Amino acid sequence: MRFLHTADWHIGRRLHGFDLTSEQKNAFEQIEKIAIDEKVDGIIIAGDLYDRSMPAEDSVALLNQMIEKLNLADKFPIYAISGNHDSATRLSTGSKWFKQTNFYLHTRLDQAFKPIELPDTQLFLLPYFELFDAQQYFNDETIKHLDQAFKPIAEKMKTQFNPQKKHILVAHFFADGSTQTASETQLTVGGLAAVPVALLQDFDYVALGHLHGKDALHADNARYSGSPVKFSLSEANQQKGVFIVDTDPVKLTFKPIKPLWDVQKLTETFATLTDKDFYQQLNLDNYYGITLQDTKPIPNVLAQLRNIYPHIISLDRENGYETAIDYRGESGKQIRQKDPMALLADFYQQIAKEDLTEQQKKWATEALKAANDGGKKS
């Protein structure tokens, strides 16, 4: 059989304040096309369908549309689990009805042990769970770490193994030896840590969710599909996509997803960044994390760059500032005793190499007065 393995859609996610809806819709359409072109027998979604346990109405409407399209319109079976970002309870709404159209959505640990029986494969859908759930389910309070929790889970699944079939596990956790990026929530809730890859050995394939990069783990039989969309600058160099999983024999093929607007890093001087010949070659609608190589202060630098790059998601300096602020040997105490206006004037002069204008002084004086008054009131 042939499955499409995806995960971590995080519907509702924003990128440094920018709405990713069109980015996510675009990625979804590519996933749908891949599923159709590859004639897959089902679509695996390994958790974190939503970005938040209480998704906004727009996010609910969007995910509902996507799932209805894949399952009701395109007639693809769906094998999904809840992730740590989903509310298992909210996500489970309707799941008892979904089975009628081969949309299997598991949100509780106890659902993981009855495999979905397919012609040549047994699918075990293990949702994200807290250590507490495992302690309760196995009635064993000595379970203190994820490996202790997962061992009996795997053992119990194996009692269901049909030797004539392949065995696929769909799960959402941190597998030991994986590399994490900035955009994933650390799973340390209730001591929840990592699952040793050795514990996964009896499955023919483990379709993982949680980490956003397809290369986070390179086990023979276990992979993260990664998210379909880049969710942070730390994912700038990741190739997003989905895995096509063939079962007989087990074979993995990665299918890339092209971003609508890419997330990219730019490390250049201000002069280069503002040079038409340079930026005309770029897709200026992309999301840029900019690192300036300059060391001189540049007035209104962000505003100036935003005129050219409307989607700047970060701005920093590669080599800091040429002139650190010179306190002329004054102690912190001496400085704190100085008149705020004098301090501001010094600071501005050192950074901008100019004196404050009369207008600027007026604004500063008003601001200081307001701050002081505010302190007295309410």
Please say which residue, 98 or 309, places its beta carbon nearer to its own copies: 98
Q: Please count the CA atoms within 13 angstroms of the CA of 288 that sit on its side-chain side.
A: 23
**DSSP characters for 335-370?**
HHHS-HHHHHHHHHHHHHSSPPPHHHHHHHHHHHHH
Is there binding between residue 96 and its own copies (CB under 8 A)? Answer: yes
Angle between helix 57-68 and helix 21-37 axes, rounded to 10 deg: 10
Q: How far is the CB of 42 from its own copies (least distance, A)?
A: 17
Residue 125 to residue 160: CA distance in whole angstroms = 13
Report which of 172, 170, 70 is spatially closest to residue 122, judged by C-alpha positions: 170
Q: How far is the CB of 82 from its own copies (least distance, A)?
A: 12
Please say which residue, 61 or 343, places its beta carbon nearer to its own copies: 61
Please say which residue, 47 or 213, places its beta carbon nearer to its own copies: 47
Please say which residue, 281 or 378, places its beta carbon nearer to its own copies: 378
Is there binding between residue 307 and its own copies (CB under 8 A)? Answer: no
Q: How far is the CB of 15 from its own copies (least distance, A)?
A: 24
Count interface residues toward its own copies (CB under 8 A). 23
Task: Outline where 38-113 has alpha helix (H).
Answer: 57-68, 88-91, 95-98
Angle between helix 340-352 and helix 358-376 axes, rounded to 10 deg: 140
Is there binding between residue 74 and its own copies (CB under 8 A)? Answer: no
Cis check for the bond before 249: say yes or no (omega within 30 of 0).
yes
For its own copies, the binding residues in 23-62 under the rule CB under 8 A are 54, 57, 60-61
Is there binding between residue 256 and its own copies (CB under 8 A)? Answer: no
Please say which residue, 182 or 370, places its beta carbon nearer to its own copies: 370
Residue 327 to residue 30: CA distance in whole angstroms = 57
Is there binding between residue 371 and its own copies (CB under 8 A)? Answer: no
Is there binding between residue 97 and its own copies (CB under 8 A)? Answer: yes
Is there binding between residue 68 and its own copies (CB under 8 A)? Answer: yes
Of these, 79, 98, 205, 288, which contacts its own copies (CB under 8 A)?
98
Are 258 and 34 in contact by the 8 Å Cβ rule? The answer is no
Please say which residue, 60 or 364, places its beta carbon nearer to its own copies: 60
The amino acid occupying position 342 is: A
Q: How far is the CB of 52 from its own copies (least distance, A)?
A: 12
> 100-138 burial, b if ≥16 CB within 10 A, otherwise e?
eeebbbbbbbebbeebbebeebbbbbbbbbbbebbbebb
**Contacts with its own copies, residue ranges (CB under 8 A):** 54, 57, 60-61, 64, 68, 72, 87, 89-90, 92-98, 100-101, 103, 375-376, 378
